[in-house]
C-alpha cells in the first residue's frame, strides 16, 4: 500500500472536515442571526451543499476509482441523471426510516427531510462519487472484506460513523432537560455530523495503522 495514497486520503478527509466547520462559521458573516442552533434548517442546507460540492470536486480532481474505459458524453449524462435519481431516492428512504424510528409523520416534515438529505450527503453521495449508481458495488463494499481500496475502506468507516452518530444523537431528545438543542432534529443532525467528522479522521489513521494487514485484491 502506497503511503502517498494514504496521505491523499487524509488530506481529502481533512478538507471535508474543514468544510463542515466553515459551513458553521462563514454564513454568520453574510446572514443575520445565523447559528447552528438558532437557524438549524438553514445550517442543514448550507452544510449539505458544502459537503456535497467538496466531495464532487475532490472526486473529479483525485479520481480515486477512475475506470480505464473512455465513456461517451451520452453515457456520462445518463450516469449523472441516474446519480441524481439515486440520491433523491436515498433521501426519501432515509426520511421513511427516520419516521419509522419515531420522528413526527406530519409535523416537522421539512426538518425530517432536510435531516434525511444531510444523512444522504454523508453516505449515499460518497457511494455515488466513488462507485457510481451501481447497487452491486455498494453491496460488495459494505459486505465483510468487500473493500478493494483505501477509499472504499474510508467509505465504509465514514458511512457507519455517520449513521451511528445520528442514532446516538436521538438519545437526549426524550429527556426532560428542556435544552434548545433537544428540539428535533438538532441533536440527531449534530450527532451525524460529529460521527461523519470522526469517521473522516479515524479512517486514514485506521488504514495507516493496519496497512500491513490490508491486502486489497481486484475482483
Domain ranges within the chain, ordered by starting residue: 74-218
**Helix intervals (H) in the chain:** 3-25, 40-62, 73-100, 109-122, 124-131, 135-141, 150-169, 186-209
CA distance 82 to 91: 14
Tens digit of pLDDT at every position of the chain (219 positions): 577 888 999 999 999 999 999 999 999 999 999 999 999 999 999 999 999 999 999 998 987 766 656 677 788 899 999 999 999 999 999 999 999 998 888 888 999 999 999 999 999 999 999 999 999 999 999 987 788 889 999 999 999 999 999 999 999 988 878 888 889 999 999 999 999 999 999 999 999 888 777 766 554
CA distance 206 to 6: 10
Residues 121/142, Cβ–Cβ less than 8 Å: no
Amino acid at each position: 500500500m502506497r503511503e502517498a495514497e494514504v496521505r491523499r486520503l487524509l488530506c481529502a478527509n481533512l478538507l471535508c472536515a474543514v468544510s463542515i466547520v466553515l459551513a458553521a462559521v462563514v454564513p454568520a458573516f453574510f446572514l443575520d442571526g445565523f447559528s447552528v442552533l438558532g437557524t438549524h434548517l438553514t445550517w442543514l442546507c448550507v452544510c449539505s451543499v458544502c459537503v456535497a460540492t467538496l466531495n464532487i470536486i475532490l472526486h473529479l480532481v483525485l479520481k480515486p476509482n477512475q475506470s480505464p474505459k473512455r465513456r461517451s458524453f451520452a453515457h456520462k449524462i445518463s450516469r449523472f441523471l441516474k446519480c441524481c435519481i439515486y440520491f433523491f431516492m436515498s433521501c426519501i428512504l432515509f426520511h421513511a426510516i427516520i419516521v419509522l424510528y419515531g420522528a413526527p409523520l406530519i409535523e416537522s416534515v421539512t426538518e425530517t427531510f432536510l435531516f434525511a438529505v444531510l444523512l444522504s450527503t454523508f453516505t449515499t453521495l460518497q457511494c455515488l462519487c466513488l462507485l457510481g449508481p451501481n447497487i452491486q458495488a455498494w453491496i460488495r463494499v459494505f459486505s465483510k472484506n468487500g473493500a478493494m481500496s483505501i477509499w472504499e475502506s474510508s467509505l465504509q468507516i465514514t458511512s457507519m460513523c455517520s449513521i451511528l452518530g445520528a442514532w446516538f444523537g436521538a438519545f437526549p431528545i426524550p429527556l426532560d432537560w428542556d435544552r434548545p438543542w433537544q428540539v428535533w432534529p438538532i441533536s440527531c443532525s449534530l450527532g451525524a455530523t460529529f460521527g461523519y467528522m470522526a469517521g473522516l479522521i479515524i479512517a486514514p489513521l485506521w488504514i495507516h495503522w493496519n496497512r500491513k494487514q490490508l491486502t486489497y485484491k481486484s475482483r
